[in-house]
């Protein structure tokens, strides 16, 4: 397992290519978002999804995995149609530290759908991650990094390395991040519902 440093404000293209090729070759990595570090693999990597679930210690259907898309248009490729008010809300807040729960379409693997057939979708304000998604041309499946001993979130690379170095193939170091997760908004019902407050209030 290796650690690679990538500039968060001006990601080096050769490093983005290197990391993206690893993901395309079914590797599991830890990468930054605009909130926490996340364990990720490509959406089509079934074994990778199962391994992420094993790492976080939950069954796929109960792991609350999300996917990272590169844009609002990208989101619509993986969700059922949603109304104009939800579109306007997402358009106003994305990219940003929010997870929107939407009804999933058949492009989402059944492996980790819950009984409601919904999926959490993110477009983080984080250049490294968005560039990776653009390069691999499919969403990343993600689970937030935490310390296994106490389930607390961490933004310290040395702590992440100590906990996960034998479980992932690569860690991207882009410096210390926040220790608050994204706000979670359930948009699968008639009206949007705030499930969890996060780093920033919803506009």
For the chain, the structural domain boundaries read: 2-196
Among 133, 100, 101, 102, smallest CA distance to 32 is for 133
41-65 pLDDT, tens digit each: 999 999 999 999 999 888 777 777 8
What secondary structure, in 3-state letters, does 151-181 show?
A: CCECCCHHHHHHHHCCCCCEEEECCCCCCCC
The pLDDT, as a whole number, for residue 125 is: 95
The pLDDT, as a whole number, for residue 199 is: 75
**Does 71 have pLDDT greater than 70?**
yes
The pLDDT, as a whole number, for residue 117 is: 87
- Pair 73, 12: CB distance under 8 Å: no
Q: Lowest mean pLDDT of 119-133, 136-150, 165-179, name the range.
A: 136-150
The pLDDT, as a whole number, for residue 4 is: 96
pLDDT band of residue 77 (cuts 50, 70, 90) is very high
Cα–Cα distance, 190 to 199 (Å, whole number): 25
Radius of gyration of the chain (CA): 16
Question: Alpha helix locations (H) across the chain?
Answer: 13-24, 46-56, 72-76, 84-93, 127-136, 157-164
pLDDT band of residue 159 (cuts 50, 70, 90) is confident
Cα–Cα distance, 74 to 129 (Å, whole number): 14
User: Token pair for residue 122?
Assistant: 């993110």
Instruction: Indicate the pTM of the whole model.
Output: 0.91
At the fourth CATH level, the homologous superfamily of domain 2-196 is DHBP synthase (3.90.870.10)
7-45 pLDDT, tens digit each: 999 999 999 999 999 999 999 999 999 999 999 999 999
- Pair 64, 57: CB distance under 8 Å: no
Average pLDDT on 142-146 reads: 88
Residues paired with residue 101 on neighbouring β-strands, in sequence order: 120, 186
**Does 150 have pLDDT greater than 70?**
no
Three-state DSSP state, 171 = strand
pLDDT band of residue 152 (cuts 50, 70, 90) is low
Average pLDDT on 168-173 reads: 96
The pLDDT, as a whole number, for residue 148 is: 53
Average pLDDT on 66-87 reads: 92
**Does 190 have pLDDT greater than 70?**
yes
Report residue 17 CA to chain centroid gap: 19
Percent of the chain at pLDDT exceeding 70: 94
């Amino acid at each position: 397992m290796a650690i690679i440093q990538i500039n968060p404000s001006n990601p080096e293209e050769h490093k983005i290519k290197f990391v993206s090729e690893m993901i395309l070759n079914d590797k599991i990595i830890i990468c930054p978002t605009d909130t926490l570090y996340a364990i990720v693999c490509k959406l089509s990597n079934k074994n990778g999804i199962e391994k992420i679930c094993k790492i976080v210690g939950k069954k796929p259907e109960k792991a609350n995995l999300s996917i990272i898309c590169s844009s609002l248009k990208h989101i619509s490729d993986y969700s059922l149609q949603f109304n104009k008010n939800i579109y306007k809300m997402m358009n106003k807040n994305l990219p940003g530290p929010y997870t929107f729960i939407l009804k999933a379409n058949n492009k989402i693997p059944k492996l980790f759908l819950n009984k409601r057939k919904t999926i959490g979708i993110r477009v983080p304000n984080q250049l490294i991650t968005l560039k990776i998604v653009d390069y691999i041309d499919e969403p990343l499946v993600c689970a937030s990094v935490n310390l296994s001993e106490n389930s607390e979130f961490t933004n310290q690379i040395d702590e992440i390395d100590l906990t996960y170095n034998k479980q992932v193939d690569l860690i991207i170091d882009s410096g210390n991040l926040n220790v608050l997760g994204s706000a979670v908004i359930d948009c699968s019902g008639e009206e949007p519902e705030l499930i969890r407050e996060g780093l920033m209030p919803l506009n």
